[in-house]
Structures are given as structure tokens and as C-alpha cells.
Amino acid sequence: MGFWTLFEVATMPILQVLLISVLGAFMATNYCNLLTADARRSLNKIVFIVFTPSLMFASLAKTVTFEDIVSWWFMPVNIGIVFLIGGILGWILVKLLKPEPHLEGLVIATCSAGNLGNLLLIVVPAICNEDGSPFRYSGTCSTTGLSYASFSMALGGFFIWTYTYHLIRVSGITLRAMEVAAIYTDSKIPNKDLESNEETSLLKGEDHDQMDVAVQSMKSIDADTESQALSSVYEKPGTFWDRVASILHQIVEELLAPPTIAAIIGFVFGATPWLKGLIIGSSAPLRVIQDSIKLLGDGTIPCITLILGGNLTQGLRSSRIKPLVLLGIICVRYMILPVIGIGVIKVAGDLGLLPTDPLFKYVLMVQFTLPPAMNIGTMTQLFDVGQEECSVIFLWTYLVAALALTVWSTVYMYILS
């Protein structure tokens, strides 16, 4: 496969994301006024509660079997390594470049969580169908590649909606705490007006009422986010067991997120033949349920991309992401992680931990090279933190991804051929 042919294959999914983002940006302008901030927030709730869980369940229940889970056991390990190393590199980036506190989680998330779903679903089958592809060894390449990509998407979603969800959720709590602390500090500033008297002091007492109104007006999808922010400012640290109970409570809450529940149920249906037979297949008695869920899941990626495009219109004007931080994220995703990925897959192959299929190894390598996960945008909108900065990060990382995916895919296929 030639370089330019591969470049075209790698560019197509990126162009799709960019074109739909441009449409979302246009819909959010004053001229069109269709995708307003409130509309984006409402649409995002639907994506979080309905569309994303449907996509997770439909992909897992259909493509994953118990035998696949056993034979492809290294893929979840590989994704875990990507998240671990990416998270460490993102943490180092945060310590060195010091972005604003409420953006630290976003930086770590974009360094660790890659787009393990829709990009692979497009790139891998397309490479199989190209003349000269080193993986076009049989007529099952596209089918096998689609299974690998679907399994990757499902596993990636599980990691994203636990680990990454926690990062963005904490960032939202941090931002609320900063806002509450700023309002509380402003209310404590003494009145230095030389002409003030008792009457004006009494009138100034309205500031406390304004502070209460401001705190109550803070918007968040999570009802307890504001109370957690207030607690982080005013509460004294509890005992060791109180902290352990709090951590366990947070873990349970994150595991109860709709996409995570859908992933767990999807794994159960995919790994249990009689359950799978109820809804999967042309002769399944309840196949209409799977078809309906898949139809809902198909709306996930377009809606997420439209929301990102809508946020981008404001992000280009008001984003507070430092250029060096943005450059650091790009370097982590497209320079450091791919090199580490080659080493990890080579060592795992030498130790006999991988199947002999070179396409499987190729998918594992590409997992180290992908742009940030689209669902990060859903989470920033969900917790009302860093939406503009997230859109700017996505714009530049996805622009660079077109070239980076092409170059690294060429290197990977050369290694595996």
C-alpha cells in the first residue's frame, strides 16, 4: 500500500469529524442559532443517558463472545497500558507546564484516553480492502478487523467511563470549589468607602444574599457536585475510614454511570450464548430490541461531534489553554506513546503473549497513536468544565492526527509485513 493511499485512508475519518464539527459550529452561530449553549447541554444529557449506552451495549453484545474475551485477553491489558502511560505523561505535563487547576484533569484525560472506537471502525476495514495491504491474506480480514475494532471500542468505553469520567468529574468539583471560594473571599473584603455609614453597611449586607444566589445558580448535571465543592472548601478532613468510605462511594457512583452499566450488560449478553441468541441474529425472537438499540447508538458520534463544533465557536475566543500545554498533548499522543507502543507489542510478541494474527498486533499498535476520545467532550459538557478548552484541543489534535496516523500506520505495517 502506497503512502498516499494510506494517507487517504487515514484522513477520511478525520475529515468526517472536522466536517461535522464545522456544521456544529455554524449551527451555534448567532446567524443560525440552532445549537445554543442550553441546546448543547440538553443534547449532551441525551447522549450520556441514551445514545452512548446504546452504542456500548449494541457493539459488545453483537461482536464479543466468551472465546474472543479469552483469546484476545491482551487487548484490555494493552489499553490499560495506554491509559497508565498516557496518564503518567499527562501528569508530568501538568506538573511542568502548570495549567489552571480545573484544566489539569482535562490535560491528563486527553493524554491518556484515545479514540478507541469510531476511528478504528473506519481505518481497519479500509486498510483490509486496499490493494497491497499486508493484511489482505484472506476474505475474512475486514470481518476480523471489524471485530477487533468493536472489541477495542467496547473496552475503551469501559476505561473511559470509569477512569476518564473520574478525572473530569473531579475537575468539575475543583472548578465549583474555586468559584465558591472566590465568591466567599469577595464577600469578606472590608468596605473601604470613606463615606460609608451604618446605613450603607446594612445595605452591603445584601452581598451575602447575592453570594447565596450565585452559589445556587451554578449549573451541574450532578446534583451533589456543588455540595462536594462546598465541602471541599469548608469541611475539615475526616478520619481515615471516612475517607475510604468516600472513595468507595465515588467509585460506586462512577460504575453506575449509564455507559458503564451498558458495557457490563453488553459483556454479559455477548459472553452468554443463550442470552445472545435472544436478541442477536436473523432468527432471534427479540432481534427488534437489538436493532432498536443499535439505531439509537448510531446517533452517538454525530451528536458528540456537533456539540464539540458548537463549543468550538466560543473556545477559539475564550479558551485559556496554554499553547505549550496543547503542544505537549500533541507530542505525548503522536510522538512518545507510539514509540512506547512499538516496544510494548514487540516485547509481548517475543514472550508469546499475542496471537499470530498480524492484524491484531497492528490494532494494538494503533491504539497508542489515536487522537483523544470523543467522549471527553461529553464529560466536559456534563460537568460544565473546560468545554471551550476541550474543543480547541480536539481541533488541533484531530488536524495533526491525519498526518500522524498515516505516518505511524506506514511504520507499523512495515514492521509487521
Alpha helical stretches, state H, 256-372: 258-271, 273-279, 287-297, 300-318, 323-331, 337-350, 358-366
Query: Does 215 score more than 50 pLDDT?
Result: no
pLDDT digits (tens, 9 = 90+) for 219-275: 444 445 445 444 444 444 566 676 667 667 766 666 677 887 887 888 888 888 888
* Residue with the larger pLDDT of the pair 393 and 204: 393
Tell if the pTM clears 0.95, that is, is over it. Answer: no
pLDDT digits (tens, 9 = 90+) for 356-377: 888 899 999 999 999 898 889 8
Higher pLDDT among residues 54 and 216, named by residue: 54
> What average pLDDT score do residues 378-383 get?
85
Give Cα separations from 300 to 46, 76, 285, 303 (angstroms). 9, 23, 26, 5
Owner of C-alpha cell 505537549: 328
Burial label for 205, CB within 10 Å (0-12, 13-18, 19+), is exposed
CA distances from 335 to 62, 89, 157 (A): 35, 12, 24
Helix 240-255 × helix 165-187 angle, to 10°: 120
Residue 347 has pLDDT above 90, yes or no: yes
Q: Is the pLDDT assigned to residue 322 strictly greater than 80? A: yes
Residue 15 scores a pLDDT above 60: yes
Domains of the chain (ranges, CATH numbers) = 3-181+241-416 (1.20.1530.20)
pLDDT at position 331 over 90: yes
With the C-alpha atoms ordered 351, 357, 363, 366, is the resulting torsion angle positive or negative? positive
Residue written as cell 473571599?
185
Task: Identify the DSSP state of 49.
Answer: I
What's the CA gap between 53 and 258, in Å, rounded?
6
Burial 223-237 (b: 16+ CB within 10 A, else e): eebbebbbeeeeeee
Question: How many Å apart are CA 339 and CA 43, to the nearest integer?
Answer: 38
What the block records as the C-alpha cell of 298 is: 448510531
Find where cell 487547576 sits.
Answer: 101
Helical (H) or strand (E) element with 54? helix 52-63
Residues 227, 100: Cα–Cα separation, whole Å: 22
**At which residue does the C-alpha cell 511504520 appear?**
411
Inter-helix orientation angle 52-63/300-318, to 10°: 140
Please provide the average confidence, as pLDDT, over all residues in the chain: 78
CA 178 to chain centre: 24
Nearest to 321 by CA among 98, 171, 96, 91: 98
pLDDT at 93: 94
Q: Nearest 5°: phi and psi at 298? A: -65, -15
Cell of 71: 483469546
Q: What is the pLDDT of residues 148-190, one digit of tens each?
A: 887 887 788 778 888 898 899 888 888 888 777 777 666 555 5
> Residue 345 — very low, low, confident or very high, per pLDDT cuts 50/70/90?
very high
List strand residue ranges (DSSP E) for 164-279, in order. none
Q: Which three cell numbers stand for residue 401?
A: 492526527
